A and B are shown apart, each in its own frame.
Chain A
Amino acid sequence: MTSAVLLSGVTFVYLFSMLFYVLWLLRGGEFWGKAATFLSMAGLAAQTLALALRWQESYRLGIGHAPLSNFYESLVFLAWAVVLIYLVVERRTGSRSPGAFVMPVAFLAMAYASFSPDVNSRIQPLIPALQSNWLVSHVVTCFLGYACFTVSFGLGVMYLLEERGEKKGGSRRGGFAAILPSAEILDELIYQSVMLGFILLGLGIITGSVWAHSAWGAYWSWDPKETWSLITWLIYALLLHSRLVRGSRGRRTAVIAIIGFASMLFTYLGVNHIPGLHSYLK
């Protein structure tokens, strides 16, 4: 149980990290920015440790498996991946402003996992259908993809705010726009995170198909989760296609990144209310 306690602690670390990113964005001041980055890194380290502990605990219970097998564990892994991808972006671009838009998602996922009465945080053994070597690669690729889409969603929202600010302020950028990265940089970042997410979700769908081929007897069954993951993937395919073929940039990219995120959320959460083969998440 140590891991669950540690993970609910991480929830608060992410909460404060998120608040500091917002403070930094609104009021400036190096201190808040540095504190926010420090907290998100410390939270990620603690969460990594907690995941390792949980893995170890499952072996002590005699049911050893990677902590990727139920809804609680998927939420925790999603938050972990979101923070990881975000910190990579922050490091590569040297810009902290996406933190205020991305960290809330990581915090909400952790809060939902830790404090919702509907989410069972116990370590459970694997039912026969989940006893497969494909479990880890399928879940890891899908959720890293989800994390990239979460980051691109945050960037998409920033783009729209930035654009509004640029319009209002004319040559002098006012309001939010003054502190956000330029539209051009945001556009490029959205493209890169969507591209990475697209490849990862593609791999997730493929590993899922290979798995389904040996578990369900068909590589594709039009199960609601399969179908919605394909729809999400097609939405991002459209974004990338219109960019590469028609050179479309900017607003259109940002808007599709936001629509794609909504579809991703439905794939992850909404679909569980439709009966289907992926019913392990209840």
Chain B
Amino acid sequence: MSPKVTLFSFFKSVRLAVSLLILIAAAAALGTFLPPSVDVYHSFWFISLLGLFSLNLIACSWDRFPVSWRRFRERTEPERPGSIFDELPTDQVFFSSEDRASMTGRVEDLLRKGWGRVQRKETKGGTFFSAEKGAYAHLGVYAVHLGVLVIIGGAAIGALLGFKAYVNIAEGETAGTVFLRGGRQMKDLGFEVRLDRFTMDFYENGMPKTYRSDLTFLKEGRVLHQGPLLVNHPIEVEGFRFYQSGYGSAGDGEASLVVRSGRKEISRNVREGDRFGLPEAGAEVRVLRVADDIMGIGPAVKVSVRSSAKEVQFWVFQHIRRMEEQHPGITKMISMFNPGLFAPYRFELRSVTTRWYSGLQVNRDPGTPLVAVGAFLMMGGFLVVFLTAHRRIYVRVDEAEGRLRTAVTGSSSRDRRGMEREVRRFIATCGGKETTG
């Protein structure tokens, strides 16, 4: 035996297929228990297993297909050698007194209606019919195998030619490049994405209801597409698919601050790093931080106030009144939380207007349509394998004991009981019911 043939017989073995399936399942299971940094599913050996499995599937199919194809094409010979009609149960044979032409005519008619590929043969032994349906049942398994191969092929194309990337865009800003997953590599989109607005909506119980990014896609100043991006509703532009995948504060919110002293009041809209003066005290206020939410208490601003005499730093919370109700004396205990630390001035925070960024996932996967086709083929194949059968029916009409005798039998590639029911139904419609036996 040549080594080539031996290799083929190795790959075509069902035992190999079973072992590989068990190995793949075991490896996949192992991967769910290991930390995500050990990426089993993209490792060389896991992909090798899938490759081996594909070769195995091709070899198995190559080996068996000719036989199945012959079974699919082959016409059954109506006159059966050794006669399958001789030892039939009595309910599959019936006698009648009508003439032979009308019986054979009816049999042929019924076969043509309910079955395909009807063949008729007149011999000395009688009139023989054969008919069959569902010959394609032999091919279902190849649709399954081909479907699996197409899915693996589609996944390979996606892995080789596709990519997955991320980008965070702050409101009002534009991005033209995205970060590829895993590495620090960038990818140029060839067009730009602008985030016009990011909005969130919540249910009454606080659970998130909507995350929405209003996006504008621009190419050389021309608008390619404009519209909202929502979870479950990706946008496709020039072959790239955009997904709403995250959000956050851009960290440069604008705070509306009020500083009171007696009846005087100074209002300022400030950002991090801004400065403004308190002229009567000869002091300067520096905004150190503007936070949308600090420790779950709500918006807050950290300021530093410096005069010639001293410098103090403290937080100004928007919800200071609620804090004092819940923890009486908190501003006395923690001077950093006291908005009146720079007496006689008292700071108030009206609001913080957050600027959001939206996290977008950007993909391209040219293998996806192939995977979809493969899945269709595979499921279609399964339906053929499980639910259809190649059924053949044989009828002989002859004379015995001076009466017309009709015998019916059949065979099936699967589901013998279903076939028996079908034979019985045929006998009943043929008129065998009244004259059975």
Contact = CB atoms under 8 A, between A and B. Distances in A.
Interface of A: 63, 124-125, 127-129, 131-132, 195, 198-199, 202-203, 206, 209, 213-220, 222, 224, 227-228, 230-231, 234-235, 237-238, 241-242, 244-246, 271, 274
21 contacts: A124-B207, A128-B211, A129-B232, A131-B231, A131-B232, A198-B382, A199-B382, A202-B379, A209-B371, A214-B234, A217-B164, A217-B243, A218-B164, A227-B32, A228-B29, A234-B24, A238-B18, A241-B18, A242-B18, A245-B14, A274-B32
Given A125-B207, A227-B32, A245-B14, A215 B231 contact: yes
Interface residues of B, number: 43
Contacts of B379: 199, 202-203, 206
Interface stretch (B79-87, B270-278, B361-369): B361-369
Contact of A271 (B25, B32, B382): B32
Interface in B329-372: 361, 363, 365, 368, 371
A131 B209 CA distance: 9
Given A215-B232, A217-B361, A231-B29, A128 B208 contact: yes
Contact of B241 (A195, A203, A217, A271): A217
A159 B410 CA distance: 31
Q: Chain A at the B interface: mostly helix, strand, loop or mixed?
A: helix
Contacts of B205: 124-125
Interface string B241-256: 1011100000000000
Given A209-B375, A217-B245, A220-B155, 13 more contacts: A125-B207, A128-B244, A129-B232, A131-B232, A213-B368, A217-B241, A218-B164, A227-B28, A234-B24, A237-B21, A241-B17, A242-B18, A271-B32
B33 interface: yes
Contacts of B155: 220
Interface of B: 14, 17-18, 21-22, 24-25, 28-29, 31-33, 41, 155, 164, 203, 205, 207-211, 230-234, 241, 243-245, 361, 363, 365, 368, 371, 375, 378-379, 382-383, 385-386
A198 B29 CA distance: 19
A60 to B, nearest CB: 14
A61 to B, nearest CB: 10
Contacts of A124: 205, 207
Contacts of B245: 217
Contacts of B210: 128
Contacts of B233: 214
Contacts of B203: 63, 125
Nearest to B242: A217
A127 B383 CA distance: 35
Nearest to A235: B25
A132 B232 contact: yes
Contacts of B32: 224, 227-228, 271, 274
A199 B232 contact: no
Contacts of B24: 234
B217 to A, nearest CB: 17
Nearest to A230: B28
Nearest to B14: A245
